[in-house]
Structure 1
Amino acid sequence: MPNTQPIPVVLAGATGKTGSAVGKAVWDAHDMELAAAVARRHRGVSLGLLWGIPELTVTLTADLTEIDRDYAVLVDFTEPESAYPRLVEAISRGWDIVVGTTGFSRREREHLAELVESRQVGAAVIANFSLGAWVAERLAIEASRYLGQVEVIEGHHQTKKDRPSGTAKRMAELLADAMGRDVDSIPVHSIRLPGMVAHQAVVFGSSGQLITIRHDVHDRSAYAAGVLAAIRQVHTFRGRVVNDLGEILDPGRLRPDGP
């Protein structure tokens, strides 16, 4: 794909809260083309009408079979049940994928990785695309070198289906790896309440003291910069799945040793 051409993006989940925030950022990006959008319940509706952008003429489709593109980056912020077959189809077409959807089974993740390697496409499958979440991961890994007792608390809006969140699962996995423990030994607590967007605290305890590393997302625009960076770089990840946002944002000199 020539570097001088806008990157064609197909957005799945365009009518969701996160999908729409990410999609508007794609629409505004000078080096990207919002080529198509998928939202099954709004098939045939103008996306510009839903977003209040009259000059946006993309019409929503029900699935990828209605999209005639040799290449695109599929950006998916939906639910695992609908996302999985769509991702399989996109990879089979030779498209790269950027995925913020969470809740896939281990077997589904393994199968997607196998397909990515087989088709030699790029994949960024990341639980949380915000810079703050990545920084919190690095801080927690550093703290785990000195404090051995830790628990994770995460909270989301009441409509979020997966529990615990993908972000919390990843945090527990990173801590377990850093501390040489089984992931099941890291307690994770979930809260689902109206008024929440996305919140996580990692609490370390030691004699007479606590350390809390907390990250709060109050607006879904927090994910946009990470997603745009992933879209721009995903084609370079041929044959592999990237799960660490640090590989994309790559403030390398600031990154401590560790996973």
Structure 2
Amino acid sequence: MKDHNMIPVVLAGATGKTGRAVGQAIHQATDMKLLGALSSRYAGVDLGSIWGENSLHLPLVRNLQDIQESYAVLVDFTEPQSALQRILQAIDWHWDLVVGTTGFSRDGFELLSKRVEQAGVGAAVIANFSLGAWVAQRLAQEASRYFSAVEVIEGHHPTKRDRPSGTARAMTEILGASLGRPTDTIPVHSLRLPGMVAHQAVVFGSPGQMLTIRHDVHDRSAYVDGVLAAIRRVHQVDGLITDLGEVLQVHADPPNQASH
């Protein structure tokens, strides 16, 4: 890293709704420098004008190869097909990765994980960077100790392509591991409707009662703190992580107060 006072960042997906919220936070962070942003549609246009702000003197570029930097953290909020090739290129350059893009195929994710390990870079590939989603996972994991009947309902805006969402798939993996069941035995119901941003409910049932753990994102600013934390720590990460708790350095279990 050339400048130890500023973390260099390149953002893919800066013109999308989530990318915009994340990009503006990166630009405002005092310990980060946004070196470049990618967009095939708006290549050559200043990023500030896309955001409705004054000029940032940062023209959007079409390809990662258009950014001449020896090191940066690649932050990617795009779609899986283009993202995978871009991420593999960044790995070849020994850049670290913060990835919020979801919908990778199993083979694609395994390739990504293998290349990260081979290159020795850090990668935070996390389906949902909001603290509430992580807490909901922890609560659902605990509830699954007592309830075996469970289904997941997830809802997003109509333009979200992957179904079920990456957040829902991560939840079924957690529940499957806890219940000792294949993930595909846990039903997931997907909604894509106007007015939705990102919503998920995990519904448990047993005779005479139901338990619902619900998380709602009403604004994409919910993801910002998690992404910034990942950018700050990813160079310390060994390999690929998918748990936001590792990024936030939150202890999975609270310390035993009685032992002090």
Structure 2 distance, partners of 1:2, 1:180, is 47
- Give the direction of change, closer, same or farther, for the CA distance of 1:255–1:17 in structure 2 (3 Å limit): farther
SS of the residue 1:15 aligns to: coil
Partner of 1:33: 33
Deviation at 1:237, TM superposition (A): 1.2
Measured in 2, the distance between the counterparts of 1:134 and 1:122 equals: 20
Instruction: Tell whether the 8 Å contact from 1:130 to 1:223 is kept in structure 2 after alignment.
Output: yes
Q: In the TM superposition, what whole-angstrom CA distance separates every residue of 1:199-252 from its partner, at most 9, and x where no partner exists? A: 0000000111110000000000000000000000000113x1000001111221
Give the aligned partner of residue 240 of structure 2.
241
The letter of the residue matching 1:160 is: K
Identity of aligned residues (%): 63
CA contact (8 A) 2:46 2:55 kept: no
Partners of 2:3 and 2:70 in 1: CA distance: 16
Find the counterpart in structure 2 of residue 199 from structure 1: 199
Q: Alpha-carbon deviations, 1:114-161, whole Å to 9, x = none?
A: 111111110000000000000000000000000110000000000100
Distance in structure 2 (CA, Å) of the matches to 1:14 and 1:3: 23
C-alpha contact (below 8 Å) 1:138/1:255 kept by paired residues:
no
Q: Paired residue for 1:48?
A: 48
TM-score (structure 1 length as normaliser): 0.96
- The residue matched to 2:41 in structure 1 has which SS? helix
Q: Structure 1 residues 107-116 or 220-229, which shifts more?
A: 107-116
**d(CA) in 1 for partners of 2:159 and 2:213?**
25
- State the distance in 1 between where 2:44 and 2:86 align: 19
C-alpha distance in 1 between matches for 2:87 and 2:228:
18
Alpha-carbon separation, structure 1, partners of 2:225 and 2:132: 11
Q: Which residue of 2 aligns with 1:147?
A: 147
CA distance 1:255–1:53, change in 2 (3 Å): farther
1-side partners of 2:30 and 2:7: how far apart? 10
How many residues are aligned here? Answer: 255
* Match status 1:72 vs 2:72: yes
Match of 1:99 in 2: 99
The separation in 1 between residues aligned to 2:86 and 2:237, in whole angstroms, is 20
Tell me, what secondary structure is at the counterpart of 2:155? strand
User: Shift of the alpha carbon at 1:3?
Assistant: 7.4
Q: 1:226 to 1:184 in 2, by over 3 A?
A: same
- Structure 1 partner of 2:160: 160
User: SS of the counterpart of 1:40?
Assistant: coil
CA distance in 1, matches of 2:65, 2:93: 11
Paired with 2:82 and 2:154, the residues of 1 have a C-alpha distance of: 24
Please give the alpha-carbon distance, in whole angstroms, between the structure 2 residues aligned to 1:135 and 1:2.
36
Give the Cα–Cα distance (whole angstroms) in 2 for the partners of residues 253 and 37 of structure 1: 34
Q: What does residue 174 of structure 2 align with?
A: 174
Distance 2:254 2:163 in 1: 29
Q: What is residue 133 of structure 1 aligned with on the other side?
A: 133
Moved more, 27-36 or 110-119: 110-119
What's 1:116 paired with? 116
Which structure 1 residue ranges, 5 or more long, are not aligned? none
Deviation of the 1:254 alpha carbon? 4.7
Q: Deviations over 1:162-192 (max 9, x none)?
A: 0000000000010000111111110000000
- Distance in 1, matches of 2:123 and 2:4, equals 22
Give the letter aligned to residue 19 of structure 1: G
RMSD of Structure 2 on Structure 1 (CA): 1.3
Cα shift at 1:2: 6.5
